[in-house]
Amino acid sequence: MRLLRHSLVARITASLLAISAMALISIVVTMTVATGSRGDAAAINMAGSLRMTTYQIVNALQHYEQQPRAEARTRVAELAERFERRLASPELTGALPQAQDHALQRQHQMLQARWEEELAPQLALAGGDVAPDALRDTLDGLVDDIDALVTLLEQNSESKIQLLSVLQILFLALTAVVVVIALYDIRHNLVLPLRQLVVLAREAAHRNFGHRTRLTGNDELALLGRTFDTMAEELGASYADLETRVSLKKAELERSNRAMQVLHDGSRALYGGGNDLCASAAPMLRRLEQLLGIGPIRLSLHDSHDDREIPILATHSARRPEYCRDHDCHACLLDPQPLTLESTDAGECLLLPVSVGDLMLGTLEVWYPRDKPPADSVKRLLNALADQLATAVYLQRRIEEQQQVTLMNERTIIARELHDSLAQSLSYLKMQVARLERMQDKGVPQESQAPVFDELRTGLDSAYRQLRELLTTFRLKLEGPGLSSALRQTVAEFGERMKTSIDLEIDLPPHLLNPNEEIHVLQVVRESLANVVKHANAHWAAVSVAFRAARLHVIVEDDGVGLADDSSPPMHYGLVIMRDRAETLGGKLTLRNRPGGGTRVELVFTPQTARLISQHVGEASRPAIATDHHGNRE
């Protein structure tokens, strides 16, 4: 019973078993009653045949009275024997109940006794002393007894049928009761709970975790309903918590996006603000403080020479940094409520390195309230800020170093140009002046000193011309970076002097030549065009600069008078400097006549960048020499 109270499955199973058991019992009872009723019809027929046989005996006796012959007597005897045989036949006796006190059993015994004691002896004496009327009266009484037997047989058969009907009605009623109980149980303990569970599942699918089944009982669905109620409550709490966390994450992401936008805008100010790091970084740092709830922030740069940290920028500062380079800038002082960085009672400091690779550039101090430490996303943003400041500081230092290197390279190039051209000419003039002084000390005649004066005049003219060329070269206003712009200005200048246009063809990759190589190439082109203007008497000239097969080809051609032969003049001072420049570049200068007339000057050399690349490739392709742990070659 406890199992039935606590298990819906057990109750449904018990109901099905009860219905099945009653159906089985009903079938068994029906089969039993049907088996017990077998032979009742035969017994009734047999009893009815006894009555017919009695009538036949009466009819035979009447024939015997009218015609007392032996055939009639025999006929009466045969009918009496048939009656006796049918009265004791198994068809009749088999249908009688086994109980001796049953009415059928008593009626059959009385009928058999009456036959044996009264009628059989009279029929045996028929035609003798027995009166026919008395025998017929006896036979009529026998018929009444037979009718009573048939009536009892019919009643017995009807009682069995009635019993079967009553049993069928009883089992049907019991089955209906069990079905009604089962349906009631299924409706209240299966259908309704399942409907509640389906409603709970549908509401949960629509993110409504407030619905409850509120099922009572101890069966499986009640337990499942209580479990689902608990699960819905937990899911509601979890969902609310997740919504809260999502809202916080969303707010954090929005704040991070705004911070990233501030960093992006600040990067443009940092990388485009020149050397004014304070003016470009201070507004960005203050906006980040407002967005992230931190501050103040202080930036210090590392001095590698003195091994100390120099304060460069501080937000919420009451005074400008000690090493401020621009006192007209007030970017770090635009704060109505300055804070002090020395007090640590109200906050803590997050120290971030400002570095590029292994190069330590400085530190970034970020202060924050003790009760609100920065989240991981805020720390990542601050690390990105430190990297951004490190990149800006590094680029600023690299730009300053590059400017210094460029200035030194420019001074070196000017010094080299002065040494290779004007210094040599002045040295030559100095020697001629010393020669002239010795000749005057010795009293050499004026006629002998005249060649020295001519050489001094020629040297001064050459030195002045070289000075003008150098001034012109260094005063060129480049409209674009590299050699191309200077060549275009040079071609335009000498084209005006020749009163004709000079063809120019340039095919160079960007940033191929260093400044020293550009100056040498430009001077070779200018010297060649100067010779064309002075000596060639040309009507056409062309300059071609192209990079082919890792070598630079510089060609200057004209259609002038050309050279006396294909060899260049040996003692021409400008050509000597041009050859010196070619040797300095590690190339070769050739001077020859063109087949169609005029002169062709060609300079071929490998730029320094290409030489470095070729050397690196050669070293990489050279097999390495392995050594053992003793340093010996293998």
Per-residue pLDDT at 44 = 80
The whole-number pLDDT of residue 413 equals 67
Residue carrying structure tokens 């260093």: 514
Question: Which three-class secondary structure state does DSSP give residue 374?
Answer: coil
Q: What angle do CA 395, 396, 397 make, to 5 degrees?
A: 90
Q: Count Cβ atoms below 10 Å from residue 409 Cβ, excluding itself.
A: 13
pLDDT for res 272: 62
Give the CATH superfamily of 2-191. Histidine kinase NarX, sensor domain (1.20.120.960)
Q: What is the pLDDT at residue 339?
A: 47
Q: How far is CA 428 from CA 143, 444, 447, 463, 558, in A?
A: 186, 21, 21, 10, 32
What length does the chain have? Answer: 634
Residue 580 confidence (pLDDT)? 83
53 closest CA partner among 136, 143, 122, 126: 143
Nearest residue to 311 (alpha-carbon basis) of 257, 391, 365: 365
Report the candidate in 499, 486, 513, 505 with the shortest Cα–Cα distance to residue 556: 505
Query: What is d(CA 129, CA 165) in angstroms, rounded to the nearest whole number?
Result: 55
Model pLDDT, residue 191:
86
Q: What is the pLDDT of residue 86?
A: 79
Structure tokens at 147: 């009718």
CATH 3.30.450.40 matches 252-394: yes
Q: Which residue has the tokens 């020697």?
A: 431
Q: pLDDT (tens digit, 9 = 90+) per residue, 365-397?
A: 888 888 888 888 888 888 888 888 888 888 877
Say how many Å lie between the first and final Cα of the chain, rounded: 96
Closest CA to 120 of 138, 104, 146: 138
Confidence of residue 632 (pLDDT cuts 50, 70, 90): very low
Query: 450-484 burial, b for 16+ CB within 10 Å, e for fewer?
Result: eebeebbeebeebbebbeebbeebeebeeeeebbb
Question: Topology of 480-634 in CATH?
Answer: Heat Shock Protein 90 (3.30.565)
pLDDT in tens, 199-257: 888 888 888 888 888 888 777 888 888 888 888 888 888 988 998 989 988 888 888 88
Between 446-474 and 424-441, two packed helices, what is the crossing angle to 10 degrees?
160
Residue type, 129: D
Residues 316, 295 contacting (CB under 8 angstroms): yes
In angstroms and rounded to an integer, the radius of gyration of the C-alpha atoms of the chain is 69
- Percent of the chain scored above 70 by pLDDT? 80
What is the average pLDDT score of the chain? 78
Confidence of residue 128 (pLDDT cuts 50, 70, 90): very low
Q: Which pLDDT tens digit goes with each residue over 84-96?
A: 787 777 877 777 7
Under a CB-based contact definition with an 8 Å cutoff, are residues 160 and 33 in contact? yes
Q: How many CA atoms lie within 13 A of 13 on its CB side?
A: 7
Buried-exposed string 347-376: b where 16+ CB fall within 10 A, e elsewhere = beebebebbeeeeebbbbbbbbeeeeebee
Which helix (DSSP H) or strand (DSSP E) does residue 50 occupy? helix 40-66
Per-residue model confidence as pLDDT tens digits over 476-495: 554 455 688 888 888 988 88
Domain range list for the chain: 2-191, 252-394, 480-634
